[in-house]
Amino acid sequence: MIVEDTLNVPQHEELAEELVYRRPATLTSLHTHYCPGCTHGVAHRLIAEVLEELGLQNKTIGVAPVGCAVFAYNYFNCDFAEAAHGRAPAMATGIKRVLPDRVVFTYQGDGDLAAIGTAEIIHAAARGENITVIFINNAIYGMTGGQMAPTTLPGMKTTSTPAGRDVELTGFPIRMAELLARLDGTSYAVRRSLHNPAEIRKAKKAIRAAFETQLQGRGFSIVELLSACPVNWNMKPIEALKWIETNMLPAFPTGDYKVLN
């Protein structure tokens, strides 16, 4: 189910106004299936812009997760593989080891990366696997309809913690950027947020730095992105963005947890 992309950029001379905004060639023209107010689309766009700016469209292989972004390969206009739940870092390892001169990235959610795929992400980082990981943390399982994630906040209501996450029974959220930064194989581990334009611009810079880390052969890079899931949070899109700021940021502070030069 791939929609072939025909990018129709109008000729510059014919325009009265200057072209200031267009879809990058690294995105297909397909409309995404994401819910209104979901920030997956923003994250996709940032990655696509970075791939285009770095001239990587024809040398990049992406690995999609299981979760809401399972169909990410429909939207990124490059070679893609779709992994089993949590196994994207292992799959990316296999690809990168055979094709070390290609750029390989995974795109994973919190259930995928921080629950079922914990072993795979930790060991990919520990090996210093020269891949880039984009980690979407929205504190919930989106695709299955709003169950507790390993990043669900204490007290947060989900369909599997209907009375709110009780840390006595279900433990505590995992801060993956900090955790992975502690490993010697990690060269770049940062957390950014997608809740306002200023943070989105910072997120793009981080994504660019992560891909540059890989291009320079410096090993494992990860950008964690705080993201909104208005439907499963049971909020309006704008409320959801505010909720990131007021509730997620204190638990998951943005910052550079490891930046090796």
Partner 1 sequence: MAKELLKGNEAIAEAAIRAGCQAYFGYPITPQTELLEHMAKRMPELGRAFVQAESEVAAINMCYGAACTGVRVMTSSSSPGVSLMQEGLSYIAGSEVPVVLVDVMRGGPGLGNIAPSQSDYNQIVKFGGHGDFKMIVLAPATVQEAIDLTAEAFDLAEKHRHIAVVLLDGNIGQMMEPAELPPMRPLPTAIPDWALSGNDGGPRNVITSIHLQPEELERFNQKLQAKIERIRAEEVRYREYMLDGAELIVVAYGTAGRVAQSAVKMAQQQGIPVGLLRPISLFPFPEDRISQLADEARGFLVVEMSAGQMLDDVRLAVAGQAPVRFYGRMGGMVPLPEEILAEIVKLDQATAQSSAYHMKEQAQRTESR
Residues engaged in binding partner 1 (CB under 8 A): 2, 4, 57-61, 63-64, 70-71, 73, 77-84, 87, 90-95, 97-99, 102-103, 119-120, 122-123, 127
Residue 23 C-beta: closest distance to partner 1, Å = 16
Q: Which is nearer to partner 1, 87 or 208 (CB)?
A: 87
Task: Pick between residue 125 and residue 134 the one whose CB is nearest to partner 1.
Answer: 125
* Between 29 and 234, CB nearer to partner 1: 29
Of 57 and 247, which CB lies nearer to partner 1 in the complex structure? Answer: 57
Number of H helices, E strands in the chain: 10, 9
- For residue 232 the two structure tokens come to 């499963």
Q: How far is the CB of 32 from partner 1 (least distance, A)?
A: 15
- The residue type of 238 is I
Return the number of the residue (33 or 236) whose C-beta is nearest partner 1.
Answer: 33
Can you name the residues that pair with 27 across neighbouring β-strands?
76
Closest C-alpha among 234, 246, 257 to residue 183: 257
Least distance CB 150 / partner 1 (angstroms): 18
Least distance to partner 1 from the beta carbon of 128, Å?
12
- Cα separation of 163 and 123, whole Å? 35
Q: Measured at the alpha carbon of residue 238, what is the angle toward residues 233 and 244, in degrees to the nearest 5?
A: 60
Whole-number Å distance between alpha carbons of 131 and 127: 11
- Cα–Cα distance measured from residue 99 to residue 96, given in angstroms and rounded to the nearest whole number: 5
Closer residue to partner 1 (CB): 220 or 252? 220
> Between 143 and 259, whose beta carbon lies closer to partner 1?
143
Q: How far is the CB of 143 from partner 1 (least distance, A)?
A: 12
Cα–Cα distance between 76 and 62 in angstroms, integer? 8
Q: Yes or no: say if 73 and 61 are a contact pair by the CB < 8 Å rule.
A: no
Q: What is the DSSP letter of 252?
A: S
| Minimum separation from the CB atom of position 127 to partner 1 (A) | 8
Q: Cβ of residue 116: shortest distance to partner 1, in angstroms?
A: 10
Strand partners, 137: 226
Burial 201-226 (b: 16+ CB within 10 A, else e): ebbbebbbbbbebbeeebbbbbbbbb
